[in-house]
Amino acid sequence: MLRTSASRVLDDSDRDEVLALLDTDPVANVFVASRVRAVGLNTSRLGGQMWGFGPRGGLVSLCYAGANLVPVNATPEALHAFADRARKQGRRCSSIVGPAEAVERLWERLEPHWGPARAIRRSQPVMVTRSLPPVEPDPLVRRVRPEQFGILLPACVAMFTEEVGISPDSGDGGALYRSRVAELIRIGRSYARIEDGRVVFKAEIGAVTPQACQIQGVWVDPELRGRGHAVTGMAAVVEQALGYFAPLVTLYVNDYNLPARAAYRKVGFRDVDTFMSVLF
């Protein structure tokens, strides 16, 4: 049996093997795979470390250790190894997120050292669609232009604060978050319906691989909710995602957000997995 000490920090020489393992589940691994495809495994470019479990040529499991801690294809032995490394390193992440069973087991090992968590989302359905939406997309949902950054940013901050429970302006004053919002606009993966300088609906395509892309940051102005903007807006974003980015679109959502889950089903999404998030 592989021991705890079998975990190691990977580098660009492991890239092909890492991608092969990530591609075994392109939906669950879309975030990590997108990062690796974009920047490789060099720690400075990746924004964290990629831990591997298993010998070179025989990788079994991975764990991305950056702003998020994300287990990938994690066996019980690998989770022991990753938890041991994370405990010794100390908490550097703002969340643990990924397949529910793996995250739960990882958190069981880390909670005595890292706890308590600020919030735990134990059941987050992972949803996918491969088909054009069966509803008419909102024609006013369009790619956000760079000059609209100042209009979009307050909506992004409001969404993040509502979803995560803290403002993205904490810590570094929001510099990193503003940079990410601007980057998604620049690369054409930020969509919104903007009327008279007001964001009605917005969403981003946050991760992209050849197999799948992931929608994130879905938000409707609270004063305009219940009018169908989420359904028609998501239909527009899914249409763009399938047309320009990947043959499969995925997202994950809190299980208690029943209006959002209902809206996604109307657009054609179906449940395929469950994630769990531990927030700090």
CB atoms within 10 A of CB 205: 25
CB 94 within 8 A of CB 101: no
pLDDT above 50 (res 3): no
CB 10 within 8 A of CB 51: yes
Q: With bands split at pLDDT 50, 70 and 90, how would you rate the model's confidence at 168?
A: very high
Domains of the chain: 4-116 (3.40.630), 141-273 (3.40.630.30)
Distances (CA, A) of 160 to 58, 178, 181: 39, 12, 11
The dihedrals phi and psi of 260, each to the nearest 5 degrees, come to: -65, -45
Query: pLDDT tens across 104-142, in order?
Result: 999 999 999 998 999 999 999 999 999 999 999 999 999
pLDDT above 50 (res 76): yes
Determine the average pLDDT of the residues in 32-61: 95
pLDDT above 50 (res 2): no
Residue 246 CA, distance from chain mean position = 16
Across all residues in the chain, what is the average pLDDT? 95
Nearby residues of 262 by Cβ (< 8 Å), 6 or more positions away: none
Element containing residue 263 per DSSP (H, E): helix 258-267
pLDDT at residue 5, as a whole number: 56
Predicted model pTM: 0.94
